[in-house]
């Protein structure tokens, strides 16, 4: 009898947990939509509304929803699918042409915040070496999901600076993974294993080269099978499975999962082709079908990601009366913003509008910065004050960047579009200077 009641109580608990999750997910989706609508009505990007919805629902304000493992998993699917859609819409030729600029912007936006952040912590605030390294590492991050959404909200995701920023953000993610591996190794053993990091870099590079080729080959099979079956929903089901498979493969080689989604989208885009085999030629109709069937799925999962970023910010942990927290966080915010913008200005031959747009678009830290901060906290590197300061810096750069970028394009957008069109029309040789 006792065993029976135990089984019944466990079953009832699981049912209650499931129903609570359903309610939380419903709140997330509805709040994200309403907040995005309100934000756009006031002239702000929709992503701001979704981030604020997460802050309000989360521990910072109401405390109704926690970023549980299940919610984080759905958010991870959202960012992977968002990057798949970005890859699907990417002009591979423009991305290739912007390769040098992307590398320069990525390296500048990676190295400068790291060096400035480390120097600020070590020499101005007198913090220890490991904490200073973790702070510098957190400042190197660029949230590709937030950045892409902002550029999409202002209608510049397909512009030349948008392609440069996309390439730079992808490179930043890879560099961030390598740096995170180095810092984790250092915090755990007190020593650096360059051999492990080099091996990781090799695996990531091979994956990013070979994954689009494999995805393109698979897409040819999917396209042919799709023509001979009457089963509805085949394309969406198989493509989602393919994207998740590539996300798993990316994780298996040590790369961020979202790079798997981006590689799959890039391969399935109508502008990607392989230089062999007529069987793998570009199929525009299939690319259109993929884009049409996947868009509702992407639009369902993506807001969960941005709300979860807000849920992850517990602003109640901040000691608002601490002078150190304010001074430290504001100093880091200046360094975080200046370092990324300075990275854009390393593109010496570009128009100053292009440099500014690229630098500002790489400022948001979002979930990538939170990963660094959380790893530092779990490893015992950050104390409460320094962790709170990092959370504030991530909140500054994530929440306010869309306003700066939108204001920039409101003031200079027409000139930026003319510069972009002139450059495209002249093969990249025109409008390098004002």
The length of the chain is 434
The answer to whether 304 and 71 have CB atoms below 8 angstroms apart is yes
The answer as to whether 430 is a domain residue is no
The answer as to whether 224 is a domain residue is yes
Distance of CA 43 to the CA centre of its chain: 23
Q: What is the pTM of this model?
A: 0.69
The answer as to whether 434 is a domain residue is no
The answer to whether 85 and 265 have CB atoms below 8 angstroms apart is yes
The answer as to whether 57 is a domain residue is yes
pLDDT of residue 418: 45
The answer as to whether 275 is a domain residue is yes
The string of DSSP codes covering 142-193 is --HHHHHHHHHHTT-TTSHHHHHHHHHHHHHHHHHHHHHHHHHHHHHHSS--
pLDDT of residue 194: 67
CA proximity to 353, closest of 365, 341, 363: 341
pLDDT of residue 95: 64
pLDDT tens digits, 53-65:
998 998 888 888 8
The answer as to whether 8 is a domain residue is no
335 or 195, which is more confident? 335
pLDDT of residue 27: 93
Q: How many domains does the chain have?
A: 1
The answer as to whether 35 is a domain residue is yes
As to burial, measured by CB atoms within 10 angstroms (0-12 exposed, 13-18 middle, 19+ buried), residue 61 is middle
Mean pLDDT of all residues in the chain? Answer: 76
* CATH number (domain holding residue 317): 1.20.1530.20
pLDDT tens digits, 260-317:
887 788 777 765 554 433 344 455 567 777 888 888 898 889 889 888 878 877 778 7
Q: Of 156-160, 161-165, 225-229, 430-434, which gets the smallest average pLDDT?
A: 430-434
The answer as to whether 171 is a domain residue is yes
pLDDT tens digits, 3-16:
544 554 555 556 65
Q: How far is it, in rounded angstroms, from Cα 157 to Cα 252?
A: 30
- Residue 239 lies in domain: 21-425
Report the pLDDT averaged over residues 30-52.
83
* 191 has pLDDT over 90: no
* 29 has pLDDT over 90: yes
* 394 has pLDDT over 50: yes
Out of 218-232, 248-262, 280-294, the most confident range is 248-262
pLDDT bracket for residue 411 (50, 70, 90): confident
Separation in Å, CA 126 to CA 108, 114, 194, 319, 392:
25, 16, 27, 20, 20
């Amino acid at each position: 009898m006792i065993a029976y009641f135990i089984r019944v109580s466990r079953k009832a608990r699981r049912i209650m947990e499931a129903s609570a999750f359903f309610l939380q997910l419903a709140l997330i989706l509805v709040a994200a939509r309403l907040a995005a609508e309100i934000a756009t009505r006031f002239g702000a990007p929709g992503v701001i509304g979704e981030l604020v919805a997460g802050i309000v629902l989360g521990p910072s304000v109401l405390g109704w929803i926690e970023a549980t493992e299940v919610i984080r998993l759905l958010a991870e699917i959202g960012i992977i699918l968002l990057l798949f859609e970005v890859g699907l819409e990417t002009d591979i030729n423009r991305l290739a042409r912007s390769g040098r600029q992307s590398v320069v912007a990525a390296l500048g936006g990676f190295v400068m915040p790291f060096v400035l952040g480390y120097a600020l912590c070590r020499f101005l605030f007198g913090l220890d070496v490991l904490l200073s390294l973790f702070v510098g590492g957190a400042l190197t991050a660029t949230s590709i999901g937030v950045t892409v959404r902002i550029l999409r909200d202002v209608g510049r995701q397909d512009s030349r600076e948008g392609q440069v920023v996309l390439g730079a953000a992808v490179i930043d993610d890879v560099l961030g993974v390598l740096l995170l591996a180095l810092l984790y190794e250092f915090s755990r053993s007190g020593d650096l294993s360059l051999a492990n990091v080099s091996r990781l870099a090799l695996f990531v590079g091979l994956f990013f080269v070979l994954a689009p080729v494999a995805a393109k080959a698979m897409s040819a099979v999917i396209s042919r099978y799709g023509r001979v079956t009457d089963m509805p929903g085949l394309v969406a089901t198989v493509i989602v499975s393919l994207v998740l498979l590539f996300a798993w493969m990316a994780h298996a080689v040590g790369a961020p999962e979202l790079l798997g989604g981006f590689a799959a989208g890039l391969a399935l885009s109508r502008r990607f082709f392989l230089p062999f085999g007529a069987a793998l030629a570009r199929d525009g109709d299939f690319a259109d079908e993929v884009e049409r069937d996947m868009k509702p799925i992407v639009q369902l999962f993506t807001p969960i990601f941005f709300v979860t970023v807000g849920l992850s910010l517990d602003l109640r942990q901040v000691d608002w009366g601490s002078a150190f927290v304010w001074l430290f966080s504001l100093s880091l915010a200046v360094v975080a913003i200046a370092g990324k913008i300075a990275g854009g200005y390393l593109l010496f031959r570009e128009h100053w509008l292009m440099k500014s747009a690229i630098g500002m678009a790489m400022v948001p830290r979002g979930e990538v910065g939170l990963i660094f901060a959380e790893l530092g906290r779990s490893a015992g590197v950050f104390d409460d004050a320094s962790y709170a300061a990092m959370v504030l810096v991530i909140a500054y750069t994530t929440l306010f960047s869309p306003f700066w970028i939108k204001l920039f394009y409101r003031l200079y957008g027409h000139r930026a579009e003319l510069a972009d069109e002139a450059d495209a029309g002249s093969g990249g040789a025109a409008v390098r200077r004002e």
